[in-house]
Chains A and B, each alone.
Chain A
Amino acid sequence: MWRVVTTRLLSALPNLAGVVVITFILTRALPGDPAAYFAGAAATEEAIAQVRSQLGLDKPLLEQFFQYVAALARGDMGLSLTTGQPVAQELLARLPASLEMVFLALLLACAIALPLGVLAATRPGSWVDQLCRLITTAGVSLPTFFTGLLLAYVFYFLLGWAPSPMGRLDPMFSPPATITGLYLVDAALAGDPAMWWASLKQLILPVLTMAIFVLAPIARMTRASMLSVLSADFIRTARASGLSRGTVLVTYALRNALLPVVTTLGMVFGFMLGSSVIVEKVFGWPGVGSYAIDALTASDYAPVQGFVLAMGVLFVLLNLLVDLLYGLIDPRVSVTS
């Protein structure tokens, strides 16, 4: 088992290396003098020169790269011009907010898309099937900023069901004691139901927005996979043994069909991490995405680059996790790897 884990880890290393290289190139690709950008618009000539030697921008590119990697290894991603705080620290502090939203969205998307895909597969070609296809295609065509705004309009302005789409918590509450940074978890750990509900209410709209966007790939894969599994030999055996429809569908068909769906999750994470930036902007969510956007508007580049690097690393690690998960649930994997 450990052999599988280590081989997967090793195969992720080239991707991590690639991520670091690309982000380095991006940091040096700024038009004009990078030092001027990092020093800020109001910097004097001397300040710029100081930044230049500090960042080693006068040295050859390869040496700069090693310096860059060394700094990363120390956890140093530079300073934010606008806040004066280390980028790495702020990213870490804001990461739980983004992750909470992303994971809940994934859960919700699966809760809707999996049954939809199964339903469409058990009635191929029917109107249910066509409807499923239409809904999911529409979902993936909706720009997340549009969905978010629309949902805010309907559920907050028109119906008054959802709270104001501004941030993680109603200003009346103060955040729970930080243990994981995930409000739902922390509120539960602190035994505070009012806080828990307040956090959940703020989460609903952003989570729903993101879930709608990724319904399509999950539902489609589930449908295709179920269709393929339902025509497999072992399903015929199960039916011929008189097993109930429920057992055949769930224990035999669905479990097998879910395997390819799990492999799709990697791609789904990619969509979600990308769209989380926009969703955070729409709902004023204090995550890493809005941090990057604010920095961008202020021409503060270090946070943006730190953000891109962090997202790249996160994505590689998430893909790795999905790979490992697959290895766990498919008993055939350890044999063949």
Chain B
Amino acid sequence: MSQPPLLEVRDFGLEFRTRGGTVRALEGIDLQLHKGEIVGLVGESGSGKSVLSYALLGISDRAARITGGSAVFGGMDLLSADEAVLADLRGREISMIFQSPRTALNPIRRVGLQLQDVLRRHAAAPGVDLGRSLKERAAQALRDVAISDPERRLAAYPFEMSGGMCQRVMIALALACRPSLLIADEPTTGLDVTTQAAVMDLITGLARERHMATLFITHDLALAADYCDRIVVMHAGHAVECAPTKSLFAAPLHPYTARLMSSTPGERSSIVSLEPVPGNLPDLRRSDLPACRFAERCERATERCRRERPRLDGRSAHGVACWFPLREAAPLRESAHV
């Protein structure tokens, strides 16, 4: 059965005007997210994953310019909405959590007050529980993320808490008003492995429970494999492959995806068999960028790759943006989601 996607991004492009030149950060991005889906956005640092999410929320850097495309959330055009509307959306319908949780929280403000700030801001939103006081709701938010003794924790400062606990607080902050979309930008980077697993379990558990769409941004392919229904692979500002997790790992179609997998430790690989992806991300300020930005790192590249940009077919079950994919792509079907 098909439902219209909660978030639909089509042919989205964005650039930054800087002193050193114009950085073409994103080009032709196609992305879809359905209600309740957990999608992983995977790519090297600098591939544009975070930039995309900031643009969706409308909190991009001053120097950012949208060059084209559309982003529609629940029927509303995010790109043409004015600031007041977007500000209402943030924290209430679309929330975001960041890496380095301790620095992402106000260091001199008590955690409880920070929660209350968000709750108060969106107090008039429909569907939000007005019956209880802000303090009670803040305590409840902490309870929802499995923080014990929440009433006492409300008075704590971020520097008094561990990294994992800070991340839970940030999740509580993001989910306090029950958004329908959560963007998690590298939420486990910087945390130790056990805490990583706990945080990921928490996020995905809450997502399933609340039927919340989640966009999980990471550079760690293995982590995405463990938790995501679908994965979108990004490279140098392009979305290059998009498939359900199982299909992606069973048969990656884009050369870059395959390279990523062979550079990531997994159950079946040994240290010796790991190979890094050749070359580096191209400098996005260049005016002579090849149309397919992986062309210079790809041994299968031809003249066509340099001239013509391959498009990702968002509607197919396993889409790939490549003129010479590793295998034939799966036949067109109605898009299905797990």
Q: A: which residues have CB within 8 A of B?
A: 232-234, 236-244, 247, 251-252, 255-256, 259, 330-332, 335
Contact = CB atoms under 8 A, between A and B. Distances in A.
Given A233-B98, A242-B88, A244-B87, A256 B106 contact: yes
Contact of B90 (A240, A255, A259, A330): A240
Given A331-B157, A332-B157, A256 B91 contact: no
B159 A242 contact: no
Contacts of A335: 159-160
A252 B329 CA distance: 50
Contacts, number: 76
A238 B107 CA distance: 12
Contact of B121 (A234, A236, A247, A256): A247
B173 A330 contact: no
A236 B96 CA distance: 10
Interface string B79-117: 000000001111110011010100111111100000001
Given A241-B117, A241-B121, 5 more contacts: A239-B90, A247-B117, A252-B109, A332-B159, A335-B159
A237 B105 contact: yes
B106 A243 contact: no
A234 B107 contact: yes
Contacts of A244: 87, 121
Nearest to A335: B159
Nearest to B170: A237
Given A242-B118, A247-B117, A252-B106, A237 B98 contact: yes
Select the residue from B92, B103, B108, B159 with max chain A CB neighbours within 10 A: B108
Nearest to B106: A234
A242 B90 contact: yes
A69 B59 CA distance: 63
What 4 pairs across the A-B complex have the smallest Cβ distances?
A: A242-B90, A242-B91, A241-B91, A233-B103
A137 to B, nearest CB: 25
A92 to B, nearest CB: 39
5 contacts: A237-B170, A238-B106, A241-B174, A330-B108, A332-B107
A233 B91 contact: no
Nearest to B176: A241
Contact of A255 (B96, B108, B170): B108
Contacts of A251: 109, 117
B108 A243 contact: no
A241 B107 contact: no
Contacts of A255: 108-109
Contact of A331 (B91, B108, B121, B173): B108
B223 interface: no
Given A233-B103, A237-B98, A247-B117, A242 B108 contact: no
A233 B117 contact: no
B94 to A, nearest CB: 9
A265 to B, nearest CB: 18
A239 B57 CA distance: 9
